[in-house]
Amino acid sequence: MHTPNDTTPADAGSPEIEALLDVIRELVGEVHPHWKDLHFSPDTQLERELGLDSMARLELRTRIEASLGIALDEARAIAATTPNDLLCALIMHTADGERCTDAAGAVQGDVSELLMGSFGIAGSAIEGEQHSISDWLYALYAWSVFAVLGLVTWLLVVLAPFERWRRKLAHLGARLFFRATFTPLQVSGHEHLDPQQPQIIVANHASYLDGFIVTAALDVPIHFIVKGELARILPARMLLQRFGVEFVDRFNARKGTSDVRRIAEKSRNGQSIVFFPEGTFTRFPGLQPFRMGAFVTAARSNVPVVPVAISGARDIVRGNDWFPHRGRIQVTVCPPVMPSGSGWDIALNLRNAARRAISPHIGEPDLVEGESGD
């Protein structure tokens, strides 16, 4: 990880670092307009403390090059964890770049989590809780239904010769699961989905059930983004490849940036793609910050964003607790949001509009004031 004593290429107050901090400060102010009086140092964490995910750092790279007139390697821009790491990347082509080599290499391994954060693929741990006998009986029944239906659906999907059949089988299997486990699933606003046009679908992330919920609720052709490690698990790969999912490489910075472009290109070519822009979930209620990956993809593809609000899932499977509870689920498909503005503002406008659309329907507090643009 980054160690200021042996990898710092410039001290706070130097012209180079001050110019870089000014560029970062401007972008952070746009991404998080509710943050006031920003103060940070060359060693401040870009992701953890300033909320700049990999898509935001791609925009930051563009602004650094325009402001400072120095080319910045794309992979290192995404892998950077602090302003000093960015400065290291800027001087790598000079003789002084040798003292930054160790720092740049150290952060390279962290790019996986940064990229996946932008695409919204993550989880969260929670503590256990006490359960009654009836709770245990229901959980056993629900898991039995999942095992039987899962196996049958897997076989049918893998063997089905046409993609349209495979998607229909998955949709029916997911709906049957919720019916069989006595989990009411209500869907409204389905008319806002256009099966003939590509759309970026963004949904709040509250539970491990969310993928099943979206599959059951949205009877249109959609493609999910999944972590590349699943491709190494044969049964999962066989199933997911039949759906045409997008595997994202979490462990290669250059491959990760090409994944971004590939997904945007597929969207331009007519595919509708599902993102969970919060990137994580917990057992505690609240709409968390949205990462920028989905909205940058929509901006680059010039396709609308369709916000989808999921309510009730957190109460059924809570955080990292795989113990299912009884409950009901409401899915609200909101009207599409068209790209507007120019440059980076397009993605910001889409993010803010999607948050404003989702928040009123989930029955949970908005944990980030100002991100909706109000």
| Cβ atoms of 257 and 114 closer than 8 Å | no
The confidence score (pLDDT) of residue 180 equals: 95
Q: In what order do the strands lie in the sheet with 223-227?
A: 185-188, 329-333, 305-311, 200-203, 273-275, 223-227, 246-248
The confidence score (pLDDT) of residue 4 equals: 37
Domains along the chain with CATH numbers: 4-108 (1.10.1200.10), 125-361 (3.40.1130)
Entry pTM? 0.73
Q: Which two tokens stand for residue 347?
A: 């993605």
Question: How many degrees, rounded to 5, is the angle at CA 344 between CA 76 and CA 26?
Answer: 75
The confidence score (pLDDT) of residue 339 equals: 92
| Cβ atoms of 339 and 350 closer than 8 Å | yes
Short-list 125, 120, 324, 128, CA closest to 209: 324
pLDDT averaged over consecutive 10-residue blocks of the chain (374 residues)? 40 67 83 72 79 77 80 73 79 49 41 46 48 90 93 90 88 94 94 91 91 91 76 78 71 61 80 85 83 86 94 86 89 94 88 94 81 60
